[in-house]
């Protein structure tokens, strides 16, 4: 087989890239080791920046997003027995966020690609990439896919990044001394906007996926097992960390999913080698506190699409050669913001009284200074495209 772009991974990055390339008349084949049901059902991020929404709508895959997504114009920081709203409509009036699950974005993209006759291959065994320096191709299940470019969109544990020769990439990484226990519950949200709660017991986040589904996160030890958190314990801990302001009561209900997510920061530079271009989690990971993972993947794909369109239209590799340099400033801005939000809101086992007072002082500054709040708001809704 032959195509112009071989795409490894059918997550949001790979699917969106395939669709955007299709709109430019560029052929692609998407190879995914998991089943279609698996990639459509796995619950991941749910906060879309304004730029991500605009990209999906412009690509013709935003109809359901605009109909079912939940636009938000602020978030709440909760600590010290008080609630503090960061008002996006005042601080960044031209931008907001939309709550819409990553799995819903994936469903929309798969439907659009299949409707357009896209070549999506699920449950593909033994995917490997070769010839990256000059003549790339992929092998899978005894077959070979020749292409001019390979896009590695297969996540942190995929095969694309490890295929780069040793010594080419510089890796920057940090592991955090805690994880998140994520919970999806069949219960209406108890608040209209996301609540980020700093508590001496640990961080908690109240989010949502729809008017009927709520999403919660609890800071837990890094080796925590979801099986050690029965429903009663989950609700008791969420109440202890969230019911800290007068008049707020957390609604409880059926928990339909639990999982533990490690907290790490990771960047591999450069995001390319030869004719391999890494996008999304294959190139970088952020802790989920800042809600940047999916949005960074979309930003990478926007840049890569323009570079590939120029390459196939004119033969010029100038934009492709500059792909990594074009992406990394946004990647590192998101890295810093995600680290900052994580440091601001979580408890650390080695914190002393001095460090905790510094943390609270910084929270007081963010919630009392319009300039500081505007910095949080600008980063949270996403820097302009």
Active site residues: 72, 196, 288, 292, 380
Phi, psi of 141 (to 5 degrees): 50, 35
Residues recorded for the chain: 385
Q: How far apart are CA 41 and CA 35, in angstroms?
A: 10
Q: How far apart are CA 102 and CA 48, in angstroms?
A: 9
How far apart, in Å, are the Cα atoms of 373 and each of 196, 244, 352?
14, 22, 26
Show Cβ contacts of residue 84 under 8 Å, excluding neighbours closer than 6 positions. 76, 77, 78, 367
Put the strands of the sheet holding 119-121 in their side by side order: 119-121, 28-31, 5-8, 149-152, 276-278, 272-273
Tokens of 53: 């929404």
């Amino acid at each position: 087989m032959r195509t112009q772009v071989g795409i490894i991974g059918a997550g949001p990055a790979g699917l969106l890239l395939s669709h955007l390339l299709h709109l430019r008349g560029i052929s692609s084949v998407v190879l995914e080791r998991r089943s279609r049901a698996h990639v459509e059902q796995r619950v991941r991020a749910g906060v879309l920046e304004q730029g991500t929404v605009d990209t999906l709508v412009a690509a013709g895959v935003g109809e359901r997003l605009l109909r079912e997504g939940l636009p938000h114009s602020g978030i709440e920081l909760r600590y010290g027995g008080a609630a503090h709203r960061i008002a996006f409509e005042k601080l960044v009036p031209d931008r907001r966020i939309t709550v819409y699950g990553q799995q819903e974005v994936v469903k929309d993209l798969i439907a659009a690609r299949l409707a357009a006759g896209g070549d999506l291959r699920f449950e593909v065994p033994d995917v490997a990439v070769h010839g990256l320096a000059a003549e790339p191709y992929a092998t899978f299940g005894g077959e070979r896919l020749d292409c001019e470019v390979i896009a590695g969109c297969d996540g942190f544990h995929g095969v694309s990044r490890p295929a780069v020769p040793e010594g080419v990439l510089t890796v920057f990484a940090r592991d955090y001394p805690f994880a998140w226990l994520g919970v999806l519950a069949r219960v209406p949200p108890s608040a209209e906007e996301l609540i980020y709660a700093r508590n001496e017991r640990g961080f908690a986040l109240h989010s949502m996926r729809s008017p009927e589904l709520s999403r919660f996160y609890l800071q837990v030890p890094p080796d925590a097992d979801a099986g050690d958190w029965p429903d009663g314990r989950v609700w008791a801990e969420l109440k202890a960390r969230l019911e800290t302001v007068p008049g707020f009561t957390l609604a409880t209900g059926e928990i339909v999913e639990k999982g533990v997510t490690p907290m790490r920061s990771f960047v591999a530079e450069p995001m390319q080698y030869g004719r391999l271009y890494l996008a999304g989690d294959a190139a970088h990971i952020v802790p989920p506190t800042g809600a940047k993972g999916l949005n960074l993947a979309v930003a990478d794909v926007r840049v890569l699409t323009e570079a590939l369109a120029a390459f196939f239209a004119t033969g010029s590799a100038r934009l492709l050669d500059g792909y990594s340099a074009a992406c990394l400033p946004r990647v590192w801005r998101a890295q810093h913001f995600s680290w900052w939000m994580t440091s601001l809101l979580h408890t650390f086992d080695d914190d002393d009284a001095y460090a905790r007072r510094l943390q609270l002082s910084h929270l007081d500054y963010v919630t009392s200074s319009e300039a500081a709040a505007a910095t949080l708001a600008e980063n949270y809704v996403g820097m302009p495209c």
